[in-house]
Amino acid sequence: MKKKFQISKFLFILLFFLLAGQTALATDNPSIYFEGPIESSIFLSDFVVNVFIDTDKPINAVDLEIFYPKDKLKFLSFDNTGSIVDIWQTTPKVLSNGNIGLTGGLFRSFVGKGGLIMSLSFRAQSSGQYKLSLAKSNIYMADGKGTKIPVDISAYTISVKENKEIISLPVSSHSQTPFNSDKSIPELFVEKAQSPVEGSSLIVFYATDAESGIKQTQMRTKKWWTFSSWQDVVNPVLYPNGAWSIEFKVANNTGLENIKSIFYFLELCKKVLIVLFFVFILVFIVFKVYNNRK
């Protein structure tokens, strides 16, 4: 009965949109916008800008480039606390063209308003009126095909003044939780995967911390008896040839850590067989030398 109701509901919604015409459909584009202070002061020159998305269509990937005046504003850091993005293809960073690149995917598709993509921290170098905008705004639909959909964009302007008076927008709920209140370790899930294109072995991890955000994800490997040093990694990770034990460590912005391990037992068996082979050879040589001396 419930299934029939859901089908009827789906048909009703489909019929509604067909009858609504192209004018209604034209307003369905996702909207990306910025939120932050409208004014700041060079005496309190650091400020945070949140990047949000509103969408009525399910999305599961973003590829953005944020333009800002590099000679007037200095990009300090990013914070992914509460972000809808689960996997970052590369850590958000300043690209070779000077823009800030944000490229990542979502395990669960997002539909709704006020979906936080990222919080960005800047420092004003001098007074003036400065604008942030999107040089690239690729949003992909969660339809199994990676369909790119049109996006409505709203630029952001901040006025940096010489005096100390600041007029700000209400503080976003995403920035109200102080980092030192985060007492729980970040969540970390790790699993093996296969590249659908090359067929190579991959390792995919999912790290999240709803309170203070993820600061760093690292990996180390064990090919024989000891682990390698920790190295920063981004999704997905190509399987290191010869490794039989791999550890992932994720840290949040309060310093709390979580470590997960995965094992490749076939690789471990190979190592054990190699060791047994050399032990056998060594025993054989010792036994032969011993017999020759008798």
Please tell me the predicted confidence (pLDDT) of residue 82. 78
Please say if the pLDDT value at position 21 is more than 60: no
pLDDT digits (tens, 9 = 90+) for 24-36: 344 478 999 999 8
Please say if the pLDDT value at position 200 is more than 60: yes
Please tell me the predicted confidence (pLDDT) of residue 172. 47
Please tell me the predicted confidence (pLDDT) of residue 205. 80
Section 130-140 average pLDDT: 93
Asked if residues 62 and 136 have their Cβ atoms less than 8 Å apart, the reply is no
Q: How many residues does the chain have?
A: 294
Please tell me the predicted confidence (pLDDT) of residue 182. 62
pLDDT digits (tens, 9 = 90+) for 69-106: 998 898 988 887 778 887 777 677 888 898 999 988 88
Top pLDDT among 134 and 19 is at 134
Please say if the pLDDT value at position 44 is more than 70: no
Please say if the pLDDT value at position 285 is more than 70: yes
Which range (87-96, 127-136, 229-238, 275-284) has the least confidence? 87-96
Please say if the pLDDT value at position 37 is more than 50: yes
Please tell me the predicted confidence (pLDDT) of residue 181. 62
Tokens of 184: 């729980």
Return the percentage of the chain with pLDDT > 70, whole number.
Answer: 80
Which range (108-117, 165-174, 223-232) has the least confidence? 165-174
- Distance (Å, whole) CA 294 – CA 288: 10
Cα torsion through 53, 56, 61, 62, rounded to 10: -30
Asked if residues 155 and 34 have their Cβ atoms less than 8 Å apart, the reply is yes
Return the percentage of the chain with pLDDT > 90, whole number.
Answer: 31
pLDDT digits (tens, 9 = 90+) for 232-276: 887 778 888 899 999 999 888 788 899 999 999 899 899 899 999
Against a cut of 0.85, is the pTM above it? Answer: no
**pLDDT mean across residues, the chain:** 80
Top pLDDT among 63 and 3 is at 63
- Distance (Å, whole) CA 156 – CA 115: 17
Give the closest residue to 92 by CA, choosing from 130, 65, 125.
65
pLDDT digits (tens, 9 = 90+) for 171-181: 444 444 455 56
Cβ neighbours, 10 Å, residue 111? 13
CB burial of 238-273 (b: ≥16 within 10 Å; e: otherwise) equals ebbeebbbbbbbbbbbbebebebebebeebeeeeee
Please say if the pLDDT value at position 286 is more than 80: yes
**Where are any strands of DSSP class E within 125-178?**
128-141, 148-149, 152-153, 156-161
Which range (76-85, 124-133, 198-207, 233-242) has the least confidence? 198-207
Top pLDDT among 146 and 148 is at 148
Please tell me the predicted confidence (pLDDT) of residue 163. 64
User: CATH 2.60.40.680 occupies which residues in the chain?
Assistant: 30-166
30-166 maps to which CATH number? 2.60.40.680
Architecture of the domain made up of 185-263: Sandwich (2.60)
Q: Which residues pair with 101 in a beta bridge?
A: 65, 93
